[in-house]
């Protein structure tokens, strides 16, 4: 028999490993079970197998909050997530197909003290408009600014002042 991909599944339905097995030779994973996973993209370690269906695990939150946004369109609004940990670095890397006339960036709604945000674009953006959440202020950050290709804009959150400071 041909060797195929199998998932090792706990009694609770957690996928704890993936193995290649011929389906017939002795291979004991008790108390877990082996479930054929060949050809199923959702069968991944950290996912689940419940009621005969594999569910892939959720994507992990990056430790430093790197966000790639491929090809935002001119006039689009990008909502940035909160950083995954205090004093994190959040990188918003834009890769538009061409230079943009305008882009709005909604800043994280619940930043933590000392969070740093870097915005970088591979193409020029004529007018970037940063939007702070209610109760947040912007200091030393223009209400609209140009972003040259390859040049980053850096801002830092201060919980003490409830303010994003441009650096």
pLDDT score for 62: 52
pTM: 0.61
Q: How sure is the predictor about 60, in pLDDT bands with cuts at 50, 70 and 90?
A: low
pLDDT score for 5: 93
Residues 153, 71: Cα–Cα separation, whole Å: 19
pLDDT tens string 100-123: 999 999 999 999 999 999 999 999
Three-state DSSP at 120 gives: strand
DSSP string, 48-87: EEETTEEEPPPPPPPTT-EEEEESPPTT-EEEPPPPSSTT
Residue 153 has pLDDT above 90, yes or no: yes
Residues 11, 73: Cα–Cα separation, whole Å: 47
pLDDT score for 67: 74
pLDDT tens string 13-46: 999 999 999 989 998 999 999 999 988 889 999 9
Residue 88 has pLDDT above 60, yes or no: yes
DSSP string, 1-54: ---EEEEEE-TTSBEEEEEEE-SSS----TTSEEEE-TT-TT--TT-EEETTEE
pLDDT tens string 74-83: 999 988 888 8
């Amino acid at each position: 028999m041909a060797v195929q991909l199998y998932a090792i599944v706990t009694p609770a339905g957690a996928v704890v490993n993936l193995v290649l097995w011929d389906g017939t030779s002795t291979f004991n994973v008790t108390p877990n079970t082996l479930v054929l996973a060949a050809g199923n993209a959702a069968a991944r370690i950290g996912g689940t197998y419940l009621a005969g269906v594999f569910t892939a695990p959720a994507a992990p939150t990056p430790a430093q909050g790197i966000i790639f946004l491929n090809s935002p369109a001119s006039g689009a609004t990008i909502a940035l997530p909160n950083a995954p940990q205090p004093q994190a670095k959040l990188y918003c890397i834009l890769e538009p197909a061409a230079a943009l006339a305008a882009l709005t960036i909604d800043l994280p709604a619940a930043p933590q003290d000392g969070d740093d945000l870097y915005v970088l674009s591979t193409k020029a953006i004529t007018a970037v408009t940063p939007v702070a959440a209610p109760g947040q202020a912007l200091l030393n950050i223009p209400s609209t600014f140009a972003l040259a290709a390859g040049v980053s804009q850096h801002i830092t959150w201060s919980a003490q002042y409830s303010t994003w400071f441009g650096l």
